[in-house]
Amino acid sequence: MAYDPENIFAKILRGELPAHKVYEDAHVFSFMDIFPQGKGHTLVIPKAPAENLFDLPGDALANLIQATQKVSVAVRDVFEPDGVLIAQFNGAAAGQTVFHIHFHIIPRWEGDALPGHGHTGRGDDAELAVMAKEIAAKL
């Protein structure tokens, strides 16, 4: 499949759709997932157009993983979870639903079930905005 410049994340990067921004630099953009699988579910995407891990050049991938680590530390510091799930999917069969490479950062607590993506409904915009500001303040 070829990269689709009309995917939702490309539209967010172009400012055509809103997002609750957590972090941005010259290479990456991080924001709250609007269909969170748990409190603090954050996404990190490259600004480079790439469908998945296999399409992203090494230097852009290095920037992406470094930013993912940076944002993950902030998420951990804000929510103080028992653990942090960091996930990245390649292809529909692997669970990828938006075909612009991205990492999910999801705080996890012992005994808390992880619902499937999109099964929890849309997050509350006011709550997402507060969480985005809390995470950004730790960066």
What domains does the chain contain, in order, with CATH numbers? 8-137 (3.30.428.10)
Residues taking part in catalysis:
102
Side chain identity at residue 39, one-letter code: K
- pLDDT tier at 98 (50, 70, 90 boundaries)? very high
pTM: 0.96
Cα separation, 106 vs 36, in Å, equals 8
pLDDT per residue over 26-80, tens digit each?
999 999 999 999 999 999 999 999 999 999 999 999 999 999 999 999 999 999 9
**pLDDT greater than 90 at residue 117:** no
Cα separation, 78 vs 138, in Å, equals 7
Q: What is the structure's pLDDT at 118?
A: 66
CA Rg, the chain, in Å?
Answer: 14
Bigger pLDDT: 32 vs 116? 32
Q: Are 84 and 71 in contact (CB under 8 A)?
A: no
Q: Which two tokens stand for residue 136?
A: 């950004």
Beta-sheet strands, E only, within 1-139: 21-24, 28-32, 42-46, 83-87, 103-108
